[in-house]
Amino acid sequence: MASSSTSPHQKSFKYHVFLSFRGEDTRKTFVDHLYAYLKQKGIHTFRDNEELKKGKRIDELFKAIEESKFFIIVFSKNYASSSWCLKELAKIMECQDENEQIAYPLFYDVEPSDIRKRSGPVGRAIAKHKSNEQIKKWEKALESAGNLVGWDLKNIANGHETEAIKKIGEEISLKLRSIHLSNDENLIGMDRRMQELESSLGIGLNDKARMIGIKGMGGIGKTTLARSIFNKVSSLFEGSCFVDDVREVSKKKGLRSLQKRVLSDVLNIEHRGSVLDGEKIMRTRLRYIKVLLVLDDVDNPKQLEALAGDWFKDGSRIIITTRDEKVLLAHGVNAKWIHDVDFLSDEEAMSLFSRYAFKRYIPDQGFEKLSSEVVCYSAGLPLTIKVLGSHLCGEEEVLWIDALKRLETIPSLETLEVLEISYDGLEDDLKEIFLDVACFMVGFPKDDAIRAIDSCGFRGIYGLRVLEQKSLITIFHNGLGMHDRIEELGKNIVRRSHPREPNKHSRLWIREEIEELFTDNVGTEASTCTGLELELTEVSPEIIIKGLGNLKKLRYLFLTGSDDDRFPSDWKFDKEKQYFPNSLQLLNWNGYPGPFLPQTFQANNLVALQLPDSRIVQLWEGRERKVLKKLKFLDLSCSKVRTFDFGMTPNLERLELRGCHDLIQLHVPPGCLKRLVYLDLLWCSSSVSFSFIKQLESLELLSLPDLLVSAVCLEEFPRYSRNKLPKLRFIFDYSKDQSSSNGTSLECVLLDLQPCTKLESVSESICGLQHIRRLTLDGCIPEVPKDIDQLKCLEELTLYSTHVICLPDSVCMLKHLKSLKLKDCRYLEELPENLGLLEHLEELSLSSTSIRRLPDSICMLKQLLSLKLKSCLLLQELPNDLGQLDCLEKLNLLSTGIRSLPDSICMLKHLQYLNLESCQLLEKLPEDIGQLECLEELNLKKCASLEDIPNSICKMKCLRYFYLPFCSRVQKLPEELGSLECLEELDINCTGINHLPRSIFLLKYLRIVGSESLLQSCALATATEIQTSETETFTQALDNTGTETKTGLRNQFTENYCNSYSRRQVDTVVLVSGDGVGGGVVGDAGGDTSKSLKEKGKVFELQPTSQYRKKPYSPCHTLV
């Protein structure tokens, strides 16, 4: 049976603070003001008149105490006279002793000694309860509370209540900063996502108010992420508010209700007016308060207009979660601040599932394989993992097996209900597109999917964009993707009304159902079917083909997998039978077996016909000439087609005949090619006449077999068509000794000669292509045309591995050039002196060239974002004014001859990436390098001459990755390195460092890389500093687990580090051994101990460098 044991995780709490006080003394004065301030700081506080209605029992009050992390006990003169207050106090002290809760006494108008000794007014008040049998318990609680560290009001801010309340609130805020409170304690993998979000938040910057978007499909963890970040940083703002479920509240109660919530939480005012009144109040009041506002599950721009206008004070942050990216963009949220929540990794998914199914981090013995199947099914979606984990928790193995089999046909209802919210919000045509994609098009190239959707009368480009914005599909590498559970949702929508009656389904894709439908000859009843997909390898093609004609409303038909064994070479359609319904708008049959289309097929609705790798010889048999007036897309690539008559496809836009080796004739009546934009004739017979080229008016891409044919084709373009084909692109395959000599024949946008490795020259006439935006030259060309400045529209110039020695000065006149890539041009020795005239240049790549210096004018490139100088071995210095590159974000100097960096480099305020790896001659860094406040990665690997790390580096608040391996002369790190609060990875392998600064223990999520000998020496160096103060704490932690540790140097090292982190709520610390020798808790402290510490969430791991994974890094376990 799967375990249902108690969770080893730290307890989660509903409330941050519980206020205990005597109402008649302080409710309307001090406590009221304290409560308002805590609420404004985003500290969720319980006080009885807010949360506990009259008539409720004391046990409900006790529940609130149990659900609070901190207690503030306001001791006043009459506090002890109330039995209710004393019962609260006794319960509070009990919780502090037994749980992870902390109580703070606040002495309002009494002395601490009066509480401890029950003297003065406290003694007189407690005397009233002498007859109560609980008096001893209450007296003990008073004594214990009086001995706690807290606040004496008269000694705080000279007794000024307002200042005292502020100080108390700030102290509580600091204590909460590292505690992530949540209703869901199983926050696996959240740290990685929070780090990415925190970098966008820019906490502490007083720049213009930022709106941050969190986007993703339902159930992926948007709300959990927003809640976690809110709980962590809300105390840093003057006001904060988390508005849950904006979509539902807006629908049921209106926008005014949402405004009321914001104004109450942030300004502590009651809003009773209209939505417009609420906007006016926000506009006039919120401009003076730095606010953190979270709007969860927004689905309409009007919600943002009412709650998040342009009325926030500088430094404010507004976090918006949504399924629909369009809502964010419509409100003006900067695309760079929109975060997609990614799916859980397999490791994270297994940990999360185990937390719900087994109440620990790993599956119970015997359930490993079944757990892997569940994780595989969930495909990284947290919602599915939680639902299935909770459902299977405590169940027998046989039920697990049965439940998994059930999921193959019946999906989890709880998951589908959440996901279907996005589907319900679609318009009718978009619902049809969604169902078509879910059933047939997952994995399609985007362009193919658009053509398929367009062929059925919908708008493919718009439809897919909306589905992508609503997180229902993904488009990656131009391919269409969909999460398994969303695909399951679409198919479930199609089947659920009639699960056992496939003849009533609108779409068919299950082989057994289709075969049964056609075998029983009930296809005529499938009158509602609009799409069918089937692989023919395991079914009788005769049965399927004969049954298709009965599907009178069929729009889509996708068939694959036919082969020669099933269809003899002389196979033909019967001339009398109806094989394809005339309603078809898209016919896709890979390996179509017939030489012609069926004679009974009218095809008058056909928009897309795709028959690649087929036996088709021509569209219609003999002299039959059916004109396909609606046909726009035709793919006959790699088929047996011999002749093609454009007269039968007058509106064709795209024709693919690639690899049709038998093609001998293209018949083109006048006026038939006006709409053709794509023509692919690669690897066709060179004997085909191309005289039709002169009829092309809309062509955008021409793909031709080789230079000989290409040259003939291009010469047939009349000169007057130069301006008629402004978008034309070419794909050529040049041979040696040929040159591009037809530049003046036409104008195109892209000319890619990268595959032409034998091309030895480029004619000056190429400069006649005045509309070209991208030019790529790769190979042996010795020079760039001198008149290249005639390419007025050129934005990207790429020269890879050429023999170019220098660039002509005319390059500097390319006013629109954004990218100049000269990688691996090993003969290139110098750049034009006026290179700085390229005022729009954003990317300059000079890697692996022979340049010795950069022209001073390069500092004039104000738009430059990336400068790559990797492996420029002869480059020894940089321009002194390099700091004038205001926008520079990436600077790569790997393996250069640089000896020093100019001081001005410290002025690069936007620099995020600086790579100085293998700069063997670099002796020092600028003293003020810490001014690079946006730097995220600093790589100093193998800087053998480098001796010191400037102290100013500790000012790099955004630094995440700091690499120092093989810097053998570096002896120490700055003592304040712990102020690098974002630092995730520190690599000090093979350095002279033998001591880690104490401040480094303040860092969260830190990963230290080093050799075992270095880590051992660090243990010795730190032992005298921290072992004495921390050993007791660590020993107690081990005693609680009921295990013992081994002795020895590595254990000493482990103890020191784990102790230092144990009091700082650290999630994960990983130490990586560079020489492959394990150690620390996981590697060397014994199985029981490592397991117990893992369960506490304090992980210390040593592992070989070969296993070292660079960013992104997902920690093994996470404290929440």
**Rounded Cα distance, 1043 and 319, in Å:** 45
Task: Please say whether the beta carbons of 70 and 150 come within 8 A.
Answer: no
HSE-up of residue 353 (Cα within 13 Å, Cβ side): 29
- C-alpha 831 chain-centroid distance: 39
Q: What are phi and psi of 474, to 5 degrees?
A: -125, 150
SS (H, E, C) 712-756: HHHHCCCHHHCCCCCCEEEECCCCCCCEECCHHHCCEEEEEECCC
- What Å distances lie between residue 40 and 19, 45, 108, 170, 179, CA to CA? 15, 10, 22, 11, 18
- What Å distances lie between residue 733 and 653, 741, 768, CA to CA? 24, 14, 21
**Both structure tokens of 1108:** 């070292």
Radius of gyration of the chain (CA): 36
88 has catalytic annotation: yes
**Rounded Cα distance, 1109 and 1116, in Å:** 13
- The conformational region for residue 773 under phi > 0 = left, psi -120 to 50 = alpha, else beta, is alpha
HSE-up of residue 199 (Cα within 13 Å, Cβ side): 20
- The conformational region for residue 366 under phi > 0 = left, psi -120 to 50 = alpha, else beta, is left
Task: Please say whether the beta carbons of 1089 and 1044 come within 8 A.
Answer: yes
SS3 150: coil
Residue type, 259: Q
Q: What residues does 46 pair with on adjacent strands?
A: 18
Instruction: State the sign of the Cα–Cα–Cα–Cα dihedral 51, 52, 58, 60.
Output: negative
Q: Indicate the pairing of strand 643-645 with strand 45-46.
A: unpaired
Give the residue from 1041, 1030, 1120 showing the smallest Cα distance to 1085.
1041
Task: Please say whether the beta carbons of 349 and 375 come within 8 A.
Answer: yes
**Rounded Cα distance, 580 and 598, in Å:** 8
Q: Indicate the pairing of strand 474-476 with strand 479-481.
A: antiparallel
Give the residue from 847, 902, 903 showing the smallest Cα distance to 877.
902
**Both structure tokens of 280:** 């006016």
**Rounded Cα distance, 277 and 1048, in Å:** 70
Task: Please say whether the beta carbons of 2 and 367 come within 8 A.
Answer: yes
Task: Please say whether the beta carbons of 706 and 726 come within 8 A.
Answer: no
**Rounded Cα distance, 566 and 568, in Å:** 6
**Rounded Cα distance, 1095 and 777, in Å:** 58
Q: Find the catalytic residue in 50, 66, 67, 88.
A: 88
Q: What residues does 1037 pair with on adjacent strands?
A: none
Consecutive H or E run containing 247: helix 246-253
1107 burial (CB, 10 Å; 0-12 / 13-18 / 19+) is exposed
368 burial (CB, 10 Å; 0-12 / 13-18 / 19+) is exposed
Residue where the block lists tokens 């297994």 = 350
SS3 472: coil
Q: Mind telling me the catalytic residues?
A: 88
